[in-house]
Amino acid sequence: MSELTRPQDLSPTQKAAALVVAVGSDNAAQVLRHLSEEEVEVLAGEVARLGEIDPEVVDSVLREVYEQMTGHRFVPAGGVHVAREILTRWKGPKGAEMLDRIIGSGTKRPFAFLRDVDPDQLVQFLKEEHPQTVALVLAHQPASYAAQVLSGFDPDLQRDVALRIASMGRTSPDVIEKVEAALQARLGSMTRTDSTSRGGVKDLAEMLNHADRATEREILDRLTEVDPELAEQVRSLMFVFEDIASLDDRSIQLVIQAVDSQKLAVAMKGVRPDVQEAILRNLSARARETLLEEMELLGPLRRRDVEAAQTEIVARIRELDEAGEIVIARDSGDLIG
């Protein structure tokens, strides 16, 4: 990363990146909402490449954008961590995945050519492969994409693949290259990528966090049959709807504010009493009464509709956690007083 010392040294894109760094992550996230995803990727890539920026350069950029803003004498810096924070505040976990794509574009990553394949097509392509091959491929995909593919397999294959992902360690570069070459040959792709080490309990937990509740439950149940200890390790890294009861009251209030009340009413149907109580105690008397009335008016609901609502709310909770607005702690060791 180089230090930017003269305004004339900056390209228009670098000036935009310097402005984004100078205004901070929260304000930058508001700006990014008005840009296309392609524009955001270009801008975030520039932010990730920025080093320290001379205060005179910052002043010059700010004057160009807004003449009243002068006298800002600080030394902001770019970098991957800044780009990650900005993108996470903009789009939650999807923003972090976007940065992985940006960074990975400079050094090609294993099986990256598969990310342009529709998930349903990849299901058909992989379902006849050995579970170890499927696990290797999915461990190198973004969690949300891998979750879509995993949910398309039959339960037995889901279990086998999940078990292998959870127990996967470092994979030989030669093995990755051979598997990739074989898959590329079948797909007719000319792309070649380098190898990295992926897989493990954490990767599987992240995939399941992006999967629908039915897929999540099916995989964990079958994983429990084969290796109960491993299944518990995966569960300990996941956040499910019922874990709302483990959040502090302030976090629960922020979650309630961030989700649609009707969706919340659907998601609360049939959950444990302690989960309902945790949510209800963080509502005003009037809001509590309204929510209970909505739940009663809904009547019986299909399990899949309830689980879909819960999945949507959990996704929003993960976004709040990624943005640093709430803290998800699975055990006391996660917190520092």
Q: What is the pLDDT of residues 34-80, one digit of tens each?
A: 776 667 777 777 777 766 666 777 777 667 655 434 333 444 555 55
Distance from C-alpha of 299 to C-alpha of 266, rounded to nearest angstrom: 10
Higher pLDDT, 281 or 187: 281
Do residues 150 and 92 share a domain?
no
Do residues 49 and 127 share a domain?
no
Residue 287 has pLDDT above 60, yes or no: yes
Do residues 22 and 94 share a domain?
yes
Domain boundary among 104, 135, 169: 104
Average pLDDT of the residues of the chain: 75
Do residues 207 and 268 share a domain?
no
Among candidates 239, 214, 232, 241, which has minimal Cα distance to 158?
Answer: 214
Residue 107 has pLDDT above 90, yes or no: no
Residue 67: predicted pLDDT:
47
CATH of the domain at 48: 1.10.220
CATH of the domain at 301: 1.10.220.30
Do residues 54 and 148 share a domain?
no
What pLDDT, in 10s, does the model give residues 131-160?
888 888 888 888 778 888 888 898 889 888
Enclosing H/E stretch for 8: none
Residue 78: predicted pLDDT:
55
Average the pLDDT over each of 229-243, 247-261, 264-278 and give the range with the smallest value: 229-243
Enclosing H/E stretch for 159: helix 155-166
Do residues 19 and 97 share a domain?
yes
**Between the ranges 2-6, 166-170, 195-199, where is the mean pLDDT highest?**
166-170
Domain boundary among 76, 104, 132: 104
263: pLDDT confidence band, cut at 50, 70 and 90? very high
Higher pLDDT, 86 or 46: 46
Domain that holds residue 256: 241-334
Whose structure tokens read 């294959």?
157
Residue 288: predicted pLDDT:
92
What pLDDT, in 10s, does the model give residues 300-328?
889 888 888 888 898 888 788 778 888 77
Do residues 14 and 122 share a domain?
no
Do residues 116 and 224 share a domain?
yes
Whether the full predicted model's pTM is greater than 0.85, yes or no, is no
Strands (E), the chain: 2-4, 50-53
Higher pLDDT, 108 or 299: 299
Residue 332 has pLDDT above 50, yes or no: no
Instruction: Provide mean pLDDT across the span 291-295.
Output: 92
Do residues 187 and 291 share a domain?
no
How buried is 174 (Cβ within 10 angstroms: 0-12 exposed, 13-18 middle, 19+ buried)?
exposed
User: Cβ contacts of residue 229 below 8 Å, gap of 6+?
Assistant: none
Domain boundary among 236, 259, 294: 236
Do residues 24 and 79 share a domain?
yes
Residue 106 has pLDDT above 60, yes or no: no
Do residues 254 and 214 share a domain?
no
Average the pLDDT over each of 75-79, 88-92, 109-113, 299-303 and give the range with the smallest value: 75-79
Residue 196 has pLDDT above 50, yes or no: no
Residue 226: predicted pLDDT:
83
Residue 72: predicted pLDDT:
39
Based on DSSP, count helices (H) and strands (E) in the chain, helices before strands: 19, 2
Higher pLDDT, 117 or 282: 282
Residue 95: predicted pLDDT:
65
Measured from the Cβ of residue 81, the count of other Cβ atoms closer than 10 Å reads 11
Residue 31 has pLDDT above 60, yes or no: yes
What's the total number of domains in the chain? 3
252: pLDDT confidence band, cut at 50, 70 and 90? very high
Do residues 229 and 124 share a domain?
yes
Q: How long a stretch of residues is the chain?
A: 337
